[in-house]
């Protein structure tokens, strides 16, 4: 894998964390204050369209984040299965890490298994022993 592809994959592996932070920021700075304002304006009689207009952006952002995360999950599971440098018992561990700790697992897998260059097996040095008969 080329260095530019590795960097691109590294950026993609960090994106779910950044997008989740963005979703939380939007939740606390945009969505919830708007809901509080609507509650103060209308009391218990908030028009459904007023709520839906604010909920739509939040839900759309969450759906895009979920689809992006699912795509990365599938990619990293397939990569771990097809990676020759990963032993078979370690593959199972990586798949479980992706499933249970996925967002952090993507970054850790990238840092451990994708970013480092493959180590070339060095040939054993030829022996310079002289046979004395």
Query: Which tens digits make up the pLDDT trace of 91-129?
Result: 999 999 999 998 999 999 999 999 987 665 444 455 555
Q: Is 129 among the domain residues? A: no
Please tell me the total count of domains within the chain: 1
Asked whether the beta carbons of 76 and 30 are under 8 A apart, the reply is: no
Domain that holds residue 97: 3-114
Tens digit of each residue's pLDDT (9 = 90 or more) over 50-74: 888 878 888 999 999 999 999 999 9
Q: Is 123 among the domain residues? A: no
Q: Is 124 among the domain residues? A: no
Give the C-alpha distances (Å, rounded to integers) separating 73 from 21, 93, 96, 105. Answer: 19, 14, 11, 10
CA 132 remoteness from chain centre: 62
Q: Is 22 among the domain residues? A: yes
Q: What gap in Å lies between CA 18 and CA 31, rounded to an integer? A: 18
Q: Is 108 among the domain residues? A: yes
Q: Is 11 among the domain residues? A: yes
Angle between the N-to-C axes of helices 88-100 and 48-82, in degrees from 0 to 180, rounded to the nearest 10 = 170
């Amino acid at each position: 894998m080329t260095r530019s592809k590795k960097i691109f994959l590294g950026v993609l592996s960090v994106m779910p964390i950044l997008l989740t932070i963005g979703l939380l920021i939007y939740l606390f700075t945009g969505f919830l204050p708007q809901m509080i304002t609507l509650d103060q304006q209308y009391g218990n009689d908030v028009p459904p369209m007023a709520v839906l207009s604010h909920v739509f952006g939040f839900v759309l952002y969450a759906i895009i984040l979920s689809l992006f995360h699912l795509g990365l999950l599938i990619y990293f599971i397939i990569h771990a299965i097809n990676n020759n440098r990963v032993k078979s018992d370690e593959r199972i561990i990586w798949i479980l890490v992706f499933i249970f700790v996925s967002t952090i697992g993507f970054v850790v897998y990238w840092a451990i298994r994708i970013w480092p260059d493959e180590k070339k097996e060095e040939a054993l040095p030829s022996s310079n022993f002289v046979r004395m008969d």
